[in-house]
Every structure is written in C-alpha cells, then in structure tokens.
Amino acid sequence: MGDHVRRTLPVTALAGAGFVLLCDVIGRVIRFPYEVPVGTVAGVIGAAVFVWLVMRSAAGKEAHG
C-alpha cells in the first residue's frame, strides 16, 4: 500500500485488532474451560512466523548461491 498513512493506518489497525481477537478466541478454545493468555498465543504464532521467515530466507540464499 506504500507510504500513504491515510490508507495504511486503518488497514493496519483493523489487521492488528483482528489478530488479537483471533488470538483471544484461540486462547479461550484451545484449553477449555481454562484460558491461555492472549500474549502467549500471539507470542507462539509470532515465533512460528519468525522461524518460517528465517527458514525461507535461508533457503532462498542457498538456491541463489
């Protein structure tokens, strides 16, 4: 979307709110009737995405020399 803050900010805010809502729902459902904190769920998802990005980057460097 570029550097246009007027267009980027609402999309970023809605995506962030949706992500936290999804993490909250997962935290409530994953171990019913107990709750897992939202920060823990977000951290696990974030760590998985980070590892995936690192592995993808490493694989791309091997393929290109």
Asked if the model's pLDDT at residue 10 lies above 80, the reply is: yes
Q: Count CB-CB contacts under 10 A for residue 45.
A: 14
Write down the pTM of the prediction: 0.79
Q: Are 38 and 25 in contact (CB under 8 A)?
A: no
| pLDDT classification of 64: cutoffs 50, 70, 90 | low
